Amino acid sequence: MAAAGKLIFAMAGPSAAIETLRPCIIDVMGRSIINMGEDVRKSSLLKISGNIFVIGFQELTAEAQVFAEKTGLGTRQMEQFISDMYGPVIESYSKRMTTGAYAPPLGTPPGFAVSLAAKDAGHAVKIAEEHGTRIPTIETALARMEAARKFAGESLDSSSIYGSARLEAGLPFWNENSRQSN
């Protein structure tokens, strides 16, 4: 994403410093800067919030695809709907599931390692609890990522939420396009 200049920078600190860095960021590594003010902790909170969206979208996509499988609707049709209705970002999460990229061949690195996504989800859940709130979708996703790791090991993508959702629905963890074992 950085090479394509598509990152979003959440920057905190003196406004003059952020403005000094703007030419080094916009149209070089990033497409925008969100000024978080002077409190540097807010930059980290915004990054964690972004991870809530990514993990949450993966959770909802996994649930929709398992629903499509169990009802006979079909994952191909669901994926077309996702693409047409929600665009390329959510479609990319769906494709990681339906193409089997959630459980890549052993020795092949995942797109976004489940261990890192689980760490991020755990941080988000903890911070929410510290502030007197909950993130139920992320709690579910975290439980499913932990179940996936227990079932299939560490060589998984964050979208392995899908494999756990399949298991809960009485389907095999592995789909026809994923690797078939540890």
Mean pLDDT by 10 residues, the chain (182 residues): 81 94 92 94 95 98 98 97 96 96 92 96 98 99 98 95 98 92 78
Q: What is the CATH number of the domain that holds 135?
A: 1.10.1040.10
Q: Are residues 15 and 84 in the same domain?
A: no
Give the pLDDT confidence score for residue 182 in this predicted structure: 75
Give the pLDDT confidence score for residue 180 in this predicted structure: 84
Give the pLDDT confidence score for residue 38 in this predicted structure: 93
Measured between alpha carbons, how far apart are the two ends of the chain, in Å? 31
Q: Are residues 25 and 114 in the same domain?
A: no
Q: Are residues 76 and 22 in the same domain?
A: no
Q: Are residues 59 and 31 in the same domain?
A: no
pTM score, whole prediction: 0.90
Residue 181 maps to a domain: no
Residue 182 maps to a domain: no
Q: Are residues 80 and 7 in the same domain?
A: no
Q: Are residues 96 and 151 in the same domain?
A: yes
- Domain of 89 in residue numbering reads as 47-168
Residue 108 maps to a domain: yes
Domain count, the chain: 2
Q: Are residues 25 and 60 in the same domain?
A: no
Give the pLDDT confidence score for residue 1 in this predicted structure: 64
Q: Are residues 74 and 119 in the same domain?
A: yes
